[in-house]
Amino acid sequence: MDPLNGLLAFVRTAELGSFVAAGRALQRTPSAIGKAVARLEQDVGVRLIQRSTRRMQLTAEGKLFHERCRRALDELADARALLVQAQAQPRGLLRVSAPVVGHHFLLPLLPDFLVRYPDVEVDLHFTDRPVDLIDDGVDIAIRSGDLADSGLISRPLQAFRLGLWASPDYLRRRGAPQRLVQLGQHDAVKFRHPHTNKLLDWPLPDDAEPAAAAIRTVLACNHIEAVLTAALKGIGIVCLPDFLVREMVADGRLRAVLPDAVASTGRFKALWQGQRHLSPKVRAFVDHLTVHLTVHLPGSTG
């Protein structure tokens, strides 16, 4: 006897309460279902279902066996669905939410993705506010920091460093600080979180609190690109992720400030709903991000 045949007959009978109903669900005769269950009982050497003219009832052993069998059949169904989906062509609208700075590393990856998957249309929404994937209709969110919603699945993406930066013009005028305590003599341009309205804390060591308190914030912006522009204009020292300033550091428009004393690491993650079956378009995009966004810390920006 095919073991799977007997298991299916038993599980459907246990769930539906009769050989007739199980046969209807499995498109087989009640007699075939009854024989399959009887052969299964003979195989395992235990009575699984008590039968009478009026009703059927699982034995104690039958209840335990049914729960294990049901889980096993669910796993088999999942495995089959994954194989089917793996062969399906990704298609349809893919909604992606990312932080405002995300366009720096996301947009360069899209041409290859769209060429490879021409039936996918990507809708990118850049925002620094928290999003609810269900309420906001988002397929994938890219965020950094701790994962608050335990119902989401995450995959690590690009790592980055937060550091302090300033323009050569500013450092010529004000002098480049050589020690943390000297930060108190400088001006700062700080990022204000649009959602919380709080200024971004600079990643200073615990013993640098006096220096941090003495820094004069001459400008605060709720848009990180504006903070970058202010740094390029020589308004003050800024705290930004390294991937955002890499080109400016390479061509000399920005310089690192106290690079050995001030640095904090972070990592972006791709987040999606923890559903049992991942749609082909979501799986394809997550795999594409994983391949092209390195999971190790990038090299020093200088």
Same domain, 67 and 215: no
**113: CATH:** 3.40.190.10
Dist. CA 234–CA 209, nearest whole Å: 25
**Could you give the angle at the alpha carbon of 200 between the alpha carbons of 204 and 286, nearest 5°?**
105
Angstrom distances, CA of residue 117 to CA of 104, 254, 281: 22, 38, 9
Give how many domains the chain has, as a whole number: 3
Same domain, 114 and 204: no
Angstrom distances, CA of residue 237 to CA of 149, 210, 300: 34, 17, 19
Examine residue 185 and state whether it is found in any structural domain, yes or no: yes
Residues of the chain with pLDDT > 70, as a percent, come to 88
Regarding pTM above 0.85, the answer is no
> Are 213 and 188 spatial neighbours (Cβ–Cβ below 8 Å)?
no
Examine residue 301 and state whether it is found in any structural domain, yes or no: no
- Check whether 86 has a pLDDT greater than 70: no
**Domain range holding 71?**
3-87
Q: Tell me the CA end-to-end span of the chain in Å, nearest whole number.
A: 70
> Are 28 and 40 spatial neighbours (Cβ–Cβ below 8 Å)?
no
* pLDDT single digits (tens) 159-205: 888 999 999 999 999 999 998 888 888 999 999 988 788 998 888 87
Same domain, 164 and 245: yes
pLDDT of residue 210: 64
Same domain, 112 and 68: no
What stretches of 12-90 adopt beta strand conformation (E)?
A: 49-51, 56-58
Q: How many residues does the chain have?
A: 302
Examine residue 297 and state whether it is found in any structural domain, yes or no: no
* pLDDT single digits (tens) 115-151: 999 999 999 999 888 888 888 889 999 988 766 656 7
Examine residue 300 and state whether it is found in any structural domain, yes or no: no
Same domain, 236 and 257: yes
The two three-digit tokens of residue 3, written as one number:
């073991």
Angstrom distances, CA of residue 78 to CA of 67, 223, 274: 17, 44, 14
